[in-house]
Amino acid sequence: MKQNPRFLIFLLLFAALLLPCCSPREKGAASDTKVFFDTSVTLTIYGDEAEAALSECFDLCRNYELIYSADNKNSELSKINRREGVEVDAEGRSVFTVSDELAEAVRLGLGAWEDSAGMFDITMRPVTVLWDFRSGKGSVPDDYLLSEEVLRVGSEWLELSGNTLSVNNRNTAIDLGAVAKGCISARLKDYLRNRKGIDGAILNLGGNISVFGTKPDGTPWQIGIQKPFTERGELISTVLLEDGCVISSGVYERNFTEKGIFYHHILSPEDGMPVHSGLTQATVIGTDDALADTLSTVCMLLGKDASEALIQEKGYEVKILYTLDDGSLVLFDPESGEESVREGEQLDFRQEDD
């Protein structure tokens, strides 16, 4: 999974709602925070069955960790990376029957790899491990080691047909960190929507915010977007939303400076080095959690112009708030194009009544 919490976004809750979100004794609301996927997961659920649903959602998170985690040795993905229980032939080929959940995430990753002309790649794990951004003590890898690990990267060595995954290189290792949290929050939302006694929920998976339904007072969800390179809680913008997700990717959470040079965790599969795309942060606002999670990283890899062209070409129903290297904000809507946004401006993405 993504290494270290990526708290790029947090929820702004009006004072009147703080107690309902936090107090387990408040009837019709339940909230708690636990650690899964190497990140903090906070779920707040409203409805008559909120307490039971909260427990069930955390049970689902435990199950998903045993599917998607590249670090948990007992997970489905980790066993694939180790080729556990599968014979590898002389050419490095091995075939696995994978769960629906893992197949969905790999399929999404392979689609993003094709759409981004190879810049987004779920086989980057050998390279990201070298950088060790997770420990907070990252350092620039040795040139030779980095060049060797880059040779192990390549989604062209993965083939997925239904639930059959073929890994055609013995050195390939998969990391679904830029995909899985969106898949998980989408599944949690679907579960809650179909469960009786649930009115609405706020799902915060390490900074990926997803909401649906209604709050007790009927007001829209208000989500704050962190200003890059500032104290936690200093906002660059806020979003009003009724049903959807707000997901950011940026260079300011996992990084270090060595010999006066700034390095961050968004790495190019071409050379294993940090990408410089002209962006500090990209925030995706949409209704498809899995797509938004993946697109946030795609935008950071491609930069503003190329990612806008991709979104137009694919017809994705999303909006992107870009934070440029100079700190300026640009909002992109595929229907209306670009517009400048003032720092601190509130963006209203509630659906208009017919």
Give the domain CATH number at 132. Answer: 1.10.3980.10
| CATH code at position 338 | 3.10.520.10
Asked if 185 and 133 touch (Cβ cutoff 8 Å), the reply is no
Does 203 share its domain with 56? Answer: yes
Asked if 186 and 223 touch (Cβ cutoff 8 Å), the reply is no
Pairing mode of beta strands 329-333, 319-324? antiparallel
Tokens of residue 168, six digits: 């055609």
Does 100 share its domain with 125? Answer: yes
Q: Give, as one character, the DSSP assignment of residue 278.
A: S
Does 160 share its domain with 185? Answer: no
For the chain, what's the residue count? 354
Q: Quick check: 19 pLDDT over 80?
A: no
Domain boundary among the residues 116, 137, 167 is at 167
Does 157 share its domain with 212? Answer: no
Q: Grade residue 24 by pLDDT with cuts at 50, 70 and 90.
A: very low
Question: Which residue's entry shows tokens 């392979």?
Answer: 110
Average pLDDT over residues 321-344: 97
Does 60 share its domain with 108? Answer: no
Q: Give, as one character, the DSSP assignment of residue 155.
A: G
Does 184 share its domain with 137? Answer: no
Among 196, 281, 198, which residue's Cα sits nearest to residue 246?
A: 281
Does 98 share its domain with 236? Answer: no
Q: Grade residue 7 by pLDDT with cuts at 50, 70 and 90.
A: very low
Does 163 share its domain with 183? Answer: no
Does 313 share its domain with 216? Answer: yes
User: What residue numbers bound the domain in which 128 lies?
Assistant: 90-167
CA gap 22, 298 in Å, rounded: 35
* Sequence-ordered alpha helix ranges (H) in the chain: 15-22, 50-68, 76-81, 100-115, 125-131, 143-150, 180-193, 289-302, 304-314
Assigned domain for 278 exists: yes
DSSP percent split of the chain into helix, strand, coil, nearest 5: 30, 30, 40
Assigned domain for 354 exists: no
The crossing angle, in degrees rounded to 10, of helices 289-302 and 304-314 is 140
Q: Quick check: 17 pLDDT over 70?
A: no
Q: How many domains does the chain have?
A: 2
Domain boundary among the residues 107, 135, 167 is at 167
Question: Which residue's entry shows tokens 């999974």?
Answer: 1
Does 189 share its domain with 336? Answer: yes
Domain boundary among the residues 119, 146, 167 is at 167
Q: Grade residue 68 by pLDDT with cuts at 50, 70 and 90.
A: very high
Assigned domain for 74 exists: no
